[in-house]
Every structure is written in C-alpha cells, then in structure tokens.
Amino acid sequence: MRTKPGRPRQLSVDQIIDAVLAEGLATFSMPQIARRLNVAHSGLYRYVDSREHLLVLAMDRIAREAPWPSIDLDWREEIAAIGETLWGLCQQYAGYDVAAVTARNVSPGFVEKLTPHVESLVGHGLDLVDATAAIDFIRTLVLNCSIDATRMHNLATEQDVPEHTIPGFEDPEKWAGRGWYQRHLDTHLDGLAQRLA
C-alpha cells in the first residue's frame, strides 16, 4: 500500500531570505536554498517567482534595515556617510557588492531609503539630476571599490602575478579598498563643491 506524501513544509519569505543571506547573495542558487531549508526545490516557487525576484527581496530587506545617515548633515558629510553605510553592507553581507552591481532590478526599499537623501542634496543647492547622480556615484564607487579590493587582495596572495605598470596602482591601500575609494570620493566631492559655487 502506497502512503500519501506529507504536506509540504510551511515557510515564510523571511525564512527564505535568511537562507539567501547565509548562503551568499552573489552565489546562491535556488537548489542550494531548498537544501538549506530542507524543502523541495519546486516548493520555493510558491513564495517567489524566480532567483532574481528572491534576490530583490533580500536586497530590499537589507536596504530597509540598514543604518542610513541623518539628512541633517552637511552635504559632504551626508554623502560620505551614505558611503560608510554601503561599506558596512559590503562587509556584513557576503556577495552584497557583486549582487548589487549585477542585479537587474533595484529594490523598492533602496529607492525609499535614498530618496530623502536626494531631496536633502537638492535642499543644499544641487539640482535634482546632480543630486541623484551624486547618490548613484557614491553607490557605484563603494560597490566597485569593494569588488576591486577583493580581487586585488586575492591577486596579492598568488604567485607570479605581474607588477602594476600604471602609476598609482601600486598603492597597497587599494587592496584594502578604502584608500583608493577615498581618493575618488574626495575628487567627486570637490567637483560637486565647484558646481555649488
């Protein structure tokens, strides 16, 4: 006599997102998440439409829970503080930088949390396009510097890697990400100051 299969395990979207964050944002697969949760792979699609949908949900939660800075700061401090928040996310969540660069969609939470900062920069005298570009620049700068820092760190541990031939790239601070990042940030902020002037 054949027995009927048991009812599928009940999950929540939050449990699935927890599994994604534990697995790694940039590298998780739906079968990996199913194994981690001890459910059938097909069962995940009762909660999410696709891997991309799940990635956006995970990034949305991260954005909503992130410690974004106050909008009452000086505009330079505000932009730099947004960068610090993004650096923190890169360090806290494995694969955040790669996932944020490669995701096809931006999460609603990210837009919701960063819109007040765009409005704040407009209040400091930037036009809407420049204010939006400033936020986009700091986001892109942090993500790319974080990815590059990991790559450079990995290269530093390999043998027979050719030395850099481009002046300025020998700076070992670039491997940690922050020295190179700070150079770019200062240049950008000085350029915005000129536009405001």
- Asked whether residue 69 is domain-assigned, the answer is yes
**Residue 6: per-residue pLDDT:** 43
- Asked whether residue 6 is domain-assigned, the answer is no
- Asked whether residue 102 is domain-assigned, the answer is yes
- Asked whether residue 87 is domain-assigned, the answer is yes
**Residue 158: per-residue pLDDT:** 62
Look up the pTM and report it.
0.83
**How many structural domains is the chain composed of?**
1
**Residue 196: per-residue pLDDT:** 86
Q: Give mean pLDDT in consecutive 10-residue pieces for the chain, a chain of 197 residues.
A: 50 94 94 94 92 95 97 96 96 94 91 97 95 95 88 63 56 62 88 88
CATH code for the domain in which residue 69 is found: 1.10.357.10
Distance, CA of 181 to CA of 144 (rounded, Å) = 9
- Asked whether residue 71 is domain-assigned, the answer is yes
- Asked whether residue 56 is domain-assigned, the answer is yes
Distance, CA of 69 to CA of 114 (rounded, Å) = 10
> Which residues, at least 6 apart from 147, have a Cβ–Cβ distance to it below 8 Å?
97, 98, 101
Distance, CA of 189 to CA of 79 (rounded, Å) = 8
**Residue 8: per-residue pLDDT:** 52
**Residue 178: per-residue pLDDT:** 75
Residue 163: CB atoms within 10 Å: 6
- Asked whether residue 94 is domain-assigned, the answer is yes
> Which residues, at least 6 apart from 75, have a Cβ–Cβ distance to it below 8 Å?
120, 121, 124, 125, 126, 192, 196
Domain that holds residue 107: 13-196
